[in-house]
Chains A and B, each alone.
Chain A
């Protein structure tokens, strides 16, 4: 606050001369308008942050609250609601500067105003300086610019009618330095002003003027301007610098001017007294905020310049999105950087790193700007950042685990949260009464309000930390479920206490308390209901998206988001709504949408969620860098920390004691420790505290600072230490294991057994309910919500079988490769056995990466990505014949390698590729000779084979028709292509061994990649042309004629033995027509994909 005095002085001086005029100063100049409009806007939303005294609090931003009368809705706030100063000034400066420099250079030195819109050489030069040392130069700039206004201390730069209008951005910058000072003065003083409320009233009156203005002007742009005017009106009051701009100026500006003038006309004082400088400064400082600025400025600018501009530099035009994008970029880059060092990320949770980064960035912004330009605002948080995270949580919720522990979760979420809120609030109040905290203007209700917002465990923080600490799933689901479900409690408690606080302590009646309790049930059940309804809707919609595959994933997001908004609208618990929407729809959606869409949904969701999380933590850090919000009270802060930890621990212990009497799986002491310690607070608490009304909650700043401290402490300190703690306590970790077929099968049997035993013993337990539900689901829900094909083909046992098979096959192939040949796989005796469908993209259950790589492979190899056309293709017998023919052809026709390049990769060609190709051609030729030789000698009849294949197809078909599986045919046709294309390739590695080792080594290396690939998505694995074909082992319908017992490459006996699954005992995968499911990271998530996806081409088994 060191800088405050001088600033204030300055301000004081201004006030003296400016104040009287301030009221009348309404006739703002256009230039004001520009900047100010923005500012007005900004301010409107910045307000919840509590800085601006006149800000209309909460009304707009607060999703959590129901309507709050005042203040227009913000028109769009983005990531940061700069308080006071809109722009990322630094950024703006740099960008604008660069732009202008470029332009200037491009056009040569003498840059006339008309050349570049409004750019004057002087100004652009000044900019350079200014960016270097903003304040002094801008001041200089101001003095340099001629000012017309009589009363102005500085010469006014723009003669009214003659000079082209300075574009807003330019203006903003020239004046940039000063406004900062003033504004700072404003900000510093405002909040604490005693007379504030008086102002406020006046301000309230003001909007009338603005309205007038608005009335005069028309159009949306105008409206904004109107509000700008309004904001402006407020300004003088606090700042007291009356600004005036000659009226004459207005006309130029076009409508904006008019609008403002309209407001001005209503003002008391006609004189335009202002210091233009002030105006300029303000406009600029304020950031020339973006949208409004851009809109407003343009007309004026255009009017003033003649001719067509080849290039214009329109920063304002893009400012907001640009800044948002930049922030996101920064956050993402930061993530990359964090993960450069595995050591760091394995110790420090990412969320903590992000917060620290945020602090650093905030520091930089502050240093450059002296204003906290960016903060995490409740609106942005609740409307844009939170939903993706919660949706992600719901959509990937391991349902069985979740519902199995629902009772426990609910107890912790409801009772635990209430307990935390009450004890924390009351204890703080008790300490306060003892006088330890000094003199604070807080009542009991304020403490309870604070307790309620600080009580809730935060889903974002918990997820961020627990995902890195792999505790066992029961523990995870309990803590995480609690953090999700406690939202309803938090909302209700918060709303109740807030309204109590607003009401005033003495007016709270018992009826209100009862209402509060009732509202809890309404809010929570209502939210859940909304979620379920939307889930139903969503499932239903995805059932019919067969022909619009491309937009399929969109439905998932849009409808879920609507559930969030709807329940917000009804003032129900939005988090519950979107969570349950995700939970309920997952099964049906995953069954309905196509494999590609499922992957898209999965990745988009993960991307959004993790992006949002990144931004949240970073902005939490940034938001903390603002001296204005910091109010320190050691006792309060420390005690809060102590109380929330202690009471959480006590609460957990008490509840667990009760629960353990009913739980089958007991929660041990160490589990309880982790649960207490894992009670992280996060952005939800912060957003809620920022929403508080400073008028009502006098010590809001103290609350804000404390919340920030608590959040930082829990996320950074506890997040940092929880991992060692978990290790030290030897908490049972979660193990990621592929389910074995036996386990799956017997697991299923156990379910049946348990429910039967429950039936027999006449008890209604989990198993009974689950059984009932799954019957109901199978009989009714699935029928309605799933497409027919999906209903048929969902069986998890098969999935597991499928997956295991795939895995075996891959390792088998890899093994074969290692031994130098794949030949053994297809030795004639076994070729019929090996029909594992490698084609289908089957993500391994646990690793996401695997599924990506599969997807990529799939896409890379499938020539056509047009899902619709794929869908619509129908296989016919003719196709089969075609295939046979094609197949035959393919073996004998040489196909230039070139084609595969396009198929597989455009960017992964290594220099040695050409060499390899040459070799391949050679080999291929040799092979063909060998083949013809062999077939002649051995009498292998290709045609016979083909006939056999054909026959099989027919038989298969018949079988299929008995089981109507509409999807299958589609699928196989889908695969025909790639298979054919790939097959040739496929044979490459294996035929080579006889010829030379280099080729082989390539293959081996490559296969090594493949195996690695299931875990990590390595680009070589994906793109390597050799790989994809290997997946198609089974796809080779015909016996490659070149393989024969005589083949030199038949593996040794030993090799056969050691290979994980030699062809003989390779599981015979009957033509599986089932869907392959994309399984999610949660094992239990029932990822049912489209049947069609899964089905390997019919051709493949044989």
Chain B
């Protein structure tokens, strides 16, 4: 029987790795993948608490998070492609047209 805190520590580590990816990397696609990693860490917390509270609601929340992640990936990648057609780069430091 694995205690609850193990799962929470694992999800905290995954979330932190994703956050570091968002902060350190400058490639837009890697940043998107790091966001997916953070969402996965949160999902793990939901499902672990769901298991240990013996309540199925956490699964529903994780399900909704996955739906939002799918929608976000589709729209985000479409944005990256249309930005790339304007200016052939995925480096977020060079995409600064709307920055004042």
Asked whether A and B interact, the reply is no
